[in-house]
């Protein structure tokens, strides 16, 4: 595998997709490249095609036209090819109630690796590891219907993680979670990223995207409007407005402080409140 800028794990080339024949296109010529090991935030108004694109990335939907390349090779839509792709690209769905099919947490997590054909004792070891790693132990013997939203989310991440994928796609993981569980899920995501897993995450939280992502993909009406580093995207007023996004609070504040002369103009825009505080603290 080549290194540096050439190491593209997923490449999407001019993909079109419509849910119904002759219906409106959900994806309207999406093209993008995802580098291996990166944290990429997908943003855009509701219904802009993020979820559809994700389902194209692991072969659930087959594009009407255009190609998707995984590790440089076009996706093979044969049964074996799809299983292979799906074992490497995992999706954590937005609503855990649509993903968890068993009332037992243990059974639930065992489903994926068993489908990969791994031997039972290896699967059991993996499940125990992932249960510990994601701190599921305190509630692993409770039925799915007795779990809180955050706990269900943890289980749905475990579902995917236990399959050891190269790419994990999270569709709005923080949706309907309280602050504590959002933080917890974010920490989990950070740890996964540290282990070199490529992470694609749909989110509406631009402050979080700015501080977390290596790259932001801004989608608009089934197309990629902008794919760039977070600061570039977050300072592009026009693009933000078009996609129903607000400029991150920290950048707004930074702007004001620069205009007031409190901070120097040549500073790099901060990506988090912590960084801005540091700027102010050190009086630069």
Partner 1 sequence: MIVVDKLCYRSKLRLVNAGEKFIFSVMTLLFCIISRSLLIAGIAFWVNGFLTVKKGGISFGRYIRLLAVPFTFLILSTLAIIVNFSKVPLDAYAVPVGTFFITGSKASLAFAIQLIATAMASVSCLYFLSLNTTMTDILDVLGKMHCPEMMIELMMLIYRFIFVLMETASAIMVSQKSRLGNKNLKTSVKSFGHMGAGLFIRALRRSNFLYDAMESRCYNGKIKVLSVQHPVKKKEAVGILLFELLLLGLTIWRKLV
Stretch near partner 1 under the rule CB under 8 A, chosen from 64-72, 96-104, 221-229, 261-269:
96-104
78 binds partner 1 (CB under 8 A): no
90 binds partner 1 (CB under 8 A): yes
Closer of 102 and 129 to partner 1 (Cβ): 102
Question: Residue 40 phi/psi, 5° resolution?
Answer: -115, 125
Buried b (16+ CB within 10 A) or exposed e, 186-214: bebbeebbeeebbbbbbbebbbbbbbbbe
Give the Cβ contact number of residue 91 at 10 Å: 23
211-250 positions binding partner 1, by CB under 8 A: none
Judged by CB under 8 A, the residue of 30, 34, 100, 157 near partner 1 is 100
- CB 137, CB 131: distance < 8 Å: yes
Judged by CB under 8 A, the residue of 24, 60, 119, 178 near partner 1 is 60
Stretch near partner 1 under the rule CB under 8 A, chosen from 33-41, 100-108, 243-251, 257-265:
100-108
Helix (H) or strand (E) holding 218: strand 215-220
Buried b (16+ CB within 10 A) or exposed e, 259-284: eeeebeeeeebbbeeeebeebeeeee
Stretch near partner 1 under the rule CB under 8 A, chosen from 25-33, 81-89, 183-191, 225-233:
81-89
Alpha helices (H) along the chain: 50-57, 79-88, 105-115, 120-133, 149-161, 179-194, 206-212, 230-234, 237-242, 249-259, 273-281
Closer of 12 and 225 to partner 1 (Cβ): 12
Buried b (16+ CB within 10 A) or exposed e, 46-67: eebbbbbbbbbbbbebebeebe
Closer of 26 and 87 to partner 1 (Cβ): 87
Give me the least distance between CB of 202 and partner 1, in Å please.
15
246-265 positions binding partner 1, by CB under 8 A: none
Judged by CB under 8 A, the residue of 17, 42, 93, 279 near partner 1 is 93
Stretch near partner 1 under the rule CB under 8 A, chosen from 65-73, 99-107, 196-204, 233-241:
99-107
Give me the least distance between CB of 91 and partner 1, in Å please.
5
123 binds partner 1 (CB under 8 A): yes
- CB 58, CB 89: distance < 8 Å: yes
Residues that bind partner 1 (CB under 8 A): 55, 58, 60, 83, 86-87, 90-91, 93, 95, 97-104, 106-108, 110-112, 114-116, 120, 123-124, 127, 141-146, 159-160, 163
């Amino acid at each position: 595998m080549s290194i540096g800028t050439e190491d593209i794990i997923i490449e999407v080339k001019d993909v079109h997709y419509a849910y119904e024949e002759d219906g409106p296109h959900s994806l309207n010529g999406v093209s993008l490249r995802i580098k291996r090991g990166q944290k990429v935030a997908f943003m855009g108004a509701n219904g802009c095609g993020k979820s559809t694109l994700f389902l194209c990335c692991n072969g659930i939907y087959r594009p009407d036209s255009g190609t998707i390349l995984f590790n440089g090779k076009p996706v093979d839509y044969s049964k074996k090819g799809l299983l292979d792709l799906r074992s490497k690209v995992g999706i954590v769905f937005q609503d855990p109630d649509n993903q968890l099919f068993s009332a037992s947490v243990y059974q639930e997590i065992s489903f994926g690796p068993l489908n990969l054909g791994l031997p039972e004792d290896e699967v059991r070891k993996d499940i125990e590891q992932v249960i510990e790693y994601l701190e599921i132990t305190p509630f692993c013997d409770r039925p799915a219907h007795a779990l809180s939203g955050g706990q269900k989310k943890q289980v749905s991440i475990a579902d995917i993680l236990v399959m050891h994928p190269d790419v994990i796609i999270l569709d709005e993981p923080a949706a309907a979670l309280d602050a504590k569980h959002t933080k917890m899920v974010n920490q989990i995501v950070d740890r996964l990223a540290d282990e070199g897993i490529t992470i694609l995450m749909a989110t509406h939280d631009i402050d979080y995207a700015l501080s977390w992502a290596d790259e932001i993909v801004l989608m608009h009406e089934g197309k990629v409007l902008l794919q760039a580093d977070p600061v570039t995207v977050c300072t592009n007023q026009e693009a933000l407005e078009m996609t129903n996004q607000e400029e991150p609070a920290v950048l707004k504040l930074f702007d004001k402080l620069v205009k007031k002369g409190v901070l120097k103009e040549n500073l790099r825009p901060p990506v988090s409140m912590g960084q801005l505080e540091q700027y102010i603290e050190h009086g630069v």
